[in-house]
Amino acid sequence: MELNERLAGFYQEHLSQGVIEGTMLKGPCPFCKDNGREEAGSITVYLGAMSYFAGYFRCQSRCVPGGFAPHFGRLSGIDPGTVPGHDPDREPYVQSMKFPAVNINSDIKKYQDKLTPNITTYFAKIGVSADTLTEMQVGYNGRYITYPYRMQNGKCYTARCVMPEDESDYFWHGDKSFGFNGLQIFNINDIDHCEDGALFIVEGEKNFLCLRELGFPGIAVPSAADLGTIDIKRFEYIQTIFMVMNHSPESVEAARTFAEQVGYKVRVLQWPSQEKRGFNLAELAGEDLENFKTAMAKMVSGSKAFSPFHSPQHEYEVFIDNIGRQQSESYKALRTGMAQFDDAVGGIYGLNMIGGPPKAGKSCLGIQLGTEIAKNKMGVIYYDFENGAQKIYQRTLSRLSRIPADKVVSAELSKVEKDRLEAGQEDLQTMLQFFRVVNDRRITPEIMRRHIDFLRHETRRTDTVVVIDSLHKLPFKDFAERRTGINAWLRELESIRDELHVGFLIISELTRQESGRYDGVPHMGLFKDSGDIEYTADNAMVFLPEWEAVDIKAGTERINSLWLVASREHSPGLIARYRLDYPYWGFSEVDKG
């Protein structure tokens, strides 16, 4: 049986004279006579199956504070085990404190008796009736409105006294220690009354009174800043918390901080953006008293839970946006221009690992792939811990101009070579607006994110490519814990990939085989300190030379084979063979055969 059905049965059993009208049960209040009323008033119970206030009861004569089923059971002396939703292992919140022997209950009664017609009119303008003032024991000391802050024991030790014309003018009357340190909760007992139900938290007592007039349960804090000192364990058994803060950045931030601590059960009511700073419930009621209840209902229904998940609508829109992004020219520009490479892995999307032995040309390939994407006016950040920016630029200029790197710095160039060099320099200068080299060996994931954000802003491109040369030279605390450090970096790079639409090309070292060589059948186990590479890489590739790096002879054709050894979406196998165009520091694809 659903909880709302059990609640309906529970209240019908104990309010036998009640009649269900739509989603409400109405009948004579069983508590009025016990509280000195000659005639029983009417009690109303909300039973809407989808309502946050299902099970909330309220006496229209206000003989007792309203609340939910556990509170009804306590007032009625009912066995708690028969109350729907009862948890026998639940332990009530207990605040370990010693209450003073002296209280100000008599002062509160005296101040109530001093309420003047001007003060009741002051509240009537925002829809707050004399009955609500009486229920909340609001008074007047001749200059200040007094709001009593009663404790769970029913006694009052302090009252906040607020100037009607200037609410920033206030003081605490009585024991001031009860106005701080998480005790500054107006109508604190409603927290217990709303066990297993919903509760409002409102900024400012006057704003709370407007809500109370509509029959809602709740508490108030003097200001949103006071939320920070309240023990969130007080709200452990509240199912839903609605927060109504004043319309200001400070109040919104305080509400968000509180919601982060309390969790999913919090729903923050939103003000229209056009409302003035500091706008609040009392002003809303004062502007249009007739429609205040409707406006509040709209704000409640439009409130959003402080959820750890994005809304379904948000998720769908992101999904559709990403489809559009993958169809955009910007996204397509992440392809390298090397046909067989792009066919095999689609371009530089996700986390792409390229492992190879020393001096195999890994950096040369990484520089070429990165700069070719930058030529497409896509942002590329090259984190270099191997070569230095000067060598990267010089080899790139050599490839672009087809002038050997050593001749780039030579004055002995023919007319044709000078023309090619000038054209290459122009291409390099244009490309450097999109290609940034970083040699900082103190790089952190946070700094990397800032670099990416900056380049996205500068290039006005959503997508970015990051080349890391190499994974094993990223900084981590303890060299002895290199494998742990690499895994930690891989986790961070995964997050950056997903959060910022980054394609990574990560160069890695390989582990020597027993023979001391690196050749043979490529596989994942070749990656040095591979750790989580197998699980994090979208594409893992091995770049193997088909020539002897230690016995290279002049004029020897240097060809490497690039193997895809693991992929989330593509079939493993030989991607392509690459011929080094020496001495111009570039590779060209050749047939696989």
The domain that holds 381 is classified in CATH as 3.40.50.300
- Do 413 and 286 belong together in one domain? no
The answer to whether residue 543 sits within a structural domain is: yes
The answer to whether residue 400 sits within a structural domain is: yes
DSSP per-residue string spanning 405-448? HHHHT-S---HHHHHHHHHHHHHHHHHTTTEEEE--TT--HHHH
- Do 156 and 67 belong together in one domain? no
- Do 537 and 485 belong together in one domain? yes
Q: Is 152 exposed, middle or buried (0-12, 13-18, 19+ CB in 10 A)?
A: middle
Cβ count within 10 A of residue 129:
14
* 3-class DSSP assignment, residue 106: helix
CA–CA dist 284, 459 (Å, integer)? 45
Residues 369/467, Cβ–Cβ less than 8 Å: yes
HEC string for 437-460? EECCCCCCHHHHHHHHHHHHHHHC
CA–CA dist 513, 535 (Å, integer)? 22
pTM of model > 0.95: no
The answer to whether residue 324 sits within a structural domain is: no
- Do 301 and 338 belong together in one domain? no
Examine the fold and report which residue of 271, 305, 339 is the final residue of a domain before the chain moves on: 305
Select from 553, 557, 580, 565 the least CA-distant residue to 520. 565
- Do 441 and 295 belong together in one domain? no
- CATH code for the domain in which residue 48 is found: 3.90.580.10
Residue type, position 184, single letter: Q
- Do 441 and 566 belong together in one domain? yes
Q: Residue-wise pLDDT tens for the chain (593 aa)?
A: 577 789 999 999 999 999 999 999 999 999 998 887 878 889 999 998 778 999 999 999 999 999 999 999 999 999 999 999 999 999 888 877 889 999 999 999 999 999 999 999 999 999 999 999 999 999 999 999 999 999 999 999 999 999 998 999 999 999 999 999 999 999 999 999 999 999 999 999 999 999 999 999 999 999 999 999 999 999 999 999 999 999 999 999 999 999 999 988 999 999 988 899 999 999 999 999 999 999 999 999 988 887 767 778 888 888 898 888 788 877 888 889 899 999 999 999 999 999 999 889 999 999 999 999 999 999 999 999 989 999 999 999 999 999 998 888 877 889 999 999 999 999 999 999 999 999 998 999 999 999 999 999 999 988 999 999 999 899 876 555 677 888 889 999 999 999 999 999 999 988 876 665 666 678 887 887 766 787 889 999 999 998 875 555 555 788 999 999 999 999 999 999 999 998 999 999 998 76
Residues 585/395, Cβ–Cβ less than 8 Å: yes
- Do 552 and 463 belong together in one domain? yes
The answer to whether residue 201 sits within a structural domain is: yes
List the Cα angle 132/133/136 in 5-degree steps.
85
Q: What is the pLDDT of residue 104?
A: 97
What is the domain range of residue 187?
105-305
Q: What is the pLDDT of residue 586?
A: 94
- Do 128 and 211 belong together in one domain? yes
- CATH code for the domain in which residue 152 is found: 3.40.1360.10
Q: Is 480 exposed, middle or buried (0-12, 13-18, 19+ CB in 10 A)?
A: exposed
Give every CB contact of residue 49 below 8 A, 6+ residues apart in sequence: 2, 4, 23
- Do 446 and 546 belong together in one domain? yes
- Do 125 and 74 belong together in one domain? no
Q: What is the DSSP letter of 98?
A: -
The answer to whether residue 322 sits within a structural domain is: no
- Do 238 and 162 belong together in one domain? yes
Q: What is the DSSP letter of 225?
A: G
Tokens 């700073």 correspond to what residue? 277
CA–CA dist 430, 374 (Å, integer)? 9
pLDDT tens for 25-50 read: 999 999 998 887 878 889 999 998 77
List the Cα angle 11/14/18 in 5-degree steps.
70
Examine the fold and report which residue of 49, 82, 115 is the final residue of a domain before the chain moves on: 82
Select from 330, 336, 410, 329 the least CA-distant residue to 371. 336
The answer to whether residue 94 sits within a structural domain is: no
Tokens 């990416």 correspond to what residue? 452
What tokens appear for 296 in the block? Answer: 């509040």
Going by their DSSP bridges, the two strands 42-46 and 24-28 should be labelled as: antiparallel
The answer to whether residue 313 sits within a structural domain is: no
Number of independent structural domains in the chain: 3
Measured between alpha carbons, how far apart are the two ends of the chain, in Å? 70
- Do 259 and 387 belong together in one domain? no
In sequence order, what are the beta bridge partners of 543? 562
The answer to whether residue 87 sits within a structural domain is: no
